[in-house]
Structure 1
Amino acid sequence: MDYFTIIKDYLIEEMKNTDAFSGFIPALMTLVITVVLTMLTKVRKKREVKINFKRNSEVILENTEKSTMVGRENQDSTFDEISILVDRFLKVYTIHGISINQIYSFVDKEFDLKISDFKDKNSIINVLNAELLEWTAKTFGVQIEWMYGKTEKIFPSRYFYKRVVSFCKQVIALRDKVEFIQIIFIRESNLNYKSADEQPVGIIVEFCKEVNGSNLSLYYPITEYGDWSYWKSRYQLKSIVYLLEKVDEFNLSPVGIKLKKGSIDRIVSGKEFIQEIFNVNKTLYTWHPYDYTSNPRHYHSLEGDEYKELIDYIQNERYVYRLKEGLVVKSGESQ
């Protein structure tokens, strides 16, 4: 039954029950208002149903989109990690002059790699395993965590300060295993022990070894630098130069190059390959660290008035004896 039928029946009934329409007009107005309110109520309810349905649909759609986005983010994250692993694995080789199509013949034969394994990233992913990654990290002296993207530090931490004896012992032990070794001291400007200004001096260990018939040149940064203006740091740097050069059976004479402070900072951070910071094939050695440890009677001696104090320091620390005898330094003792 529609609203017009209800109104018609109501009006007929009122006309029968009233005299001369005395109550008809008020009744009619009441009925019209009631019907209008009823209609508005139903329209509002329908609108609320539509709005709620729309809101629920939007919530469902939003949740679906969020779930899809999370899934895509997880997929993207996994893809990024794999991409980083492949890129860093390849970079270890290419930065050392080994092209991508040479890797298969450079690594150990036990990995049974073929040149076709390196035609694209997907083929490389298929042959990368824990053993190959560990072999690469060990051969090139980089951190495997860096290849996995877990750290930005390529090289492990290496120190010399308060570790003079252990540092020299490591250099000498390495010398006996490789074809060639050289200790490079890096500085920003001319050194002056009388200056109070900071004067950073860093160290790089360069060496060449044979790997499966190929010569491989490597550069290990010492991940700290000494301040030449601080006497103890300077004396320990000089002690390293003296021990490696002056002690007869070691006979390793460090060389020196100049670099900007920013480059020195990048080297000691261990976050970049040395080859990315300066051209290792064209850089010339411009100063000689042994000038700072030479007897003042020699014409090339620098800071000769500190020579006697340096020798006393080396003797007091028993560096030569401990280095030759291979004494183990207990924790807490100066080295």
Structure 2
Amino acid sequence: MIDFGSLIGAELFKRAINKLLDFLAGLIGAENKDSPPEDLPQILSEENNNCVKSETLPETISENLTSKLKRLLKAHNIPLISIGELFNLKDFSYSKLDDPNKFVDCFDSQLLAKICDIFYIKLDWLQGKKTLFNSVHSPKRCYKAIGDLVSFICNEIYSPYKALETCGFELFFCLSSSQKFSTKELSSIRHLNETSETGFCIVVKITKRYGLQKSEFSTYQVFDHGMRWSYWRTRYTLKSVALLCLKWNKKINLVSIDDDSFSALSTGDVLPAEIMEENSGEIIHHRHFDFRDYVESYPHMNPEFDEMKSVESYYNERRYREYENLFKFWHDNPQLHQITG
């Protein structure tokens, strides 16, 4: 089961110290009080007996994990009643949701690791551990590493070793709403000072299935943030991804997100689903044009046709064309796990 030993020990030590400090405070100005409280050993013994048993875990620990698991399911529009089917908990009953200690006992360390793999979140965050970067998830890299983006998608879609069946993916290019945002104005960003632009954040949406009814939900992996349109290398990287999607016949959704949400999404301080799902419509605005227009080979369709030859050269020099048939290759060779590029 979950190791709460260190957390419990810290709480026990804190309580004992508080008792001792109360005693020492009483010595100030008290001439005849020269011994610690007689009940201190008994207090320590009782606290130890109460804390070491998993069924009587400190309420704050069990409630914290329960709260985060419920938040995780809500963010992904998964009904709480489906939790047993989703995580294959054979003995799970809905009544356990009302008792944090019983609820937590259903989740051992192996299952928690599996949950993190399914939803792309950090185990430290789920368990409530304090870290230097106490974020919910870790954005991956794509700049100068498009192969990592392609590898992630292929591994999620085609690998037979995943915990849940997957049935598709979508790509989102997210932009802070404080930036100019229209087909015409996006091109004007090319001439901005680099430091004045927040840049793009790439998000991959993976749709997954679970249970006998093949119920679906979507998870989101965030890739590079700060992919500035005003810097040619990052702009060419974004356009190279768009070229791949054009070859794969996959649309890229270009979206605008309010500044605070964009910052939280980029740094990993929020569950991506809380921003990207449709129930967050008040902070996300879909734009009705296709980002792939920026890599079209027809001048009347491409707002930045003037640099298309340079983009194609960049694309070919970095051998991104090899990824065009990668989906079929990956499907035919499911034993492969790691692709670099």
Name the TM-score, length of structure 1 as normaliser: 0.69
- The letter of the residue matching 2:191 is K
Partner of 1:265: 263
Three-state SS of the structure 2 residue aligned to 1:162 is coil
- Give 1:156 deviation, angstroms: 3.2
Q: Is 1:144 aligned to residue 123 of structure 2?
A: yes
Structure label with greater radius of gyration? 1
Equivalent position to 1:57, from 29, 33, 36: 33
- The letter of the residue matching 2:148 is S
Q: Distance in 2 between matches of 1:304 and 1:133?
A: 48
Structure of higher RCO (CA pairs closer than 8 Å, 6+ residues apart): 2
- The letter of the residue matching 2:190 is Y
- The letter of the residue matching 2:278 is V
Q: How does 1:123-202 map to 2 (within 5 A)?
A: 123-150=102-129, 151=131, 152-176=134-158, 178-188=166-176, 189-190=180-181, 191=186, 192-196=189-193, 197-202=196-201
- The letter of the residue matching 2:205 is E
- The unaligned stretches of length 5 or more in structure 2 are 1-26, 52-56, 159-164, 330-335
User: Which moved further from structure 2: 123-132 or 212-221?
Assistant: 123-132
Larger helix share, 1 or 2: 1
- The letter of the residue matching 1:80 is T
Partner of 1:9: none
Q: Distance in 2 between matches of 1:252 and 1:305?
A: 24
Partner of 1:320: 321
Preserved CA contact (<8 Å) 2:244 2:323: no
TM-superposition CA deviations, 1:225-253 (whole Å, max 9, x none) = 311111111111111111122x2xx2222
TM-superposition CA deviations, 1:78-129 (whole Å, max 9, x none) = 54333222211222212222233332233215x4212232232232133232
Q: Distance in 2 between matches of 1:134 and 1:305?
A: 48
Paired residues, what number?
A: 272
Three-state SS of the structure 2 residue aligned to 1:54 is coil
Equivalent position to 1:90, from 47, 61, 70: 70
Preserved CA contact (<8 Å) 2:64 2:128: yes
Residue 83 to residue 163, structure 1, CA distance change in 2 (3 Å) = same
Q: Distance in 2 between matches of 1:217 and 1:52?
A: 62
Residue 201 to residue 184, structure 1, CA distance change in 2 (3 Å) = same
- The unaligned stretches of length 5 or more in structure 1 are 1-50
- Give 1:130 deviation, angstroms: 2.1
- Give 1:182 deviation, angstroms: 0.5
Partner of 2:220: 219
Q: Distance in 1 between matches of 2:192 and 2:272?
A: 29
Runs of 4+ in 1 over 4 A off after TM superposition: 281-284, 322-330
Preserved CA contact (<8 Å) 1:193 1:303: no
Residue 56 to residue 88, structure 1, CA distance change in 2 (3 Å) = farther
- The letter of the residue matching 1:128 is F
- The letter of the residue matching 2:33 is S
Q: Distance in 2 between matches of 1:90 and 1:199?
A: 32
Q: Distance in 1 between matches of 2:249 and 2:155?
A: 13
- Give 1:319 deviation, angstroms: 1.5
Preserved CA contact (<8 Å) 2:265 2:272: yes
Q: Percent identity?
A: 20
Q: Distance in 1 between matches of 2:243 and 2:275?
A: 28
Preserved CA contact (<8 Å) 1:227 1:234: yes
Residue 317 to residue 82, structure 1, CA distance change in 2 (3 Å) = same
Partner of 1:230: 231
Q: Distance in 1 between matches of 2:277 and 2:155?
A: 27
TM-superposition CA deviations, 1:164-183 (whole Å, max 9, x none) = 12212322443446212100
- The letter of the residue matching 2:110 is E
Q: Distance in 1 between matches of 2:239 and 2:175?
A: 14
Name the TM-score, length of structure 2 as normaliser: 0.68
Q: Distance in 2 between matches of 1:140 and 1:301?
A: 36
Residue 126 to residue 260, structure 1, CA distance change in 2 (3 Å) = closer
- The alignment yields a C-alpha RMSD, in angstroms, of 3.5
Q: Distance in 1 between matches of 2:197 and 2:121?
A: 30
Preserved CA contact (<8 Å) 1:169 1:323: no
- The letter of the residue matching 1:304 is F
Partner of 2:306: 305
Q: Distance in 2 between matches of 1:223 and 1:174?
A: 18
Residue 52 to residue 128, structure 1, CA distance change in 2 (3 Å) = closer
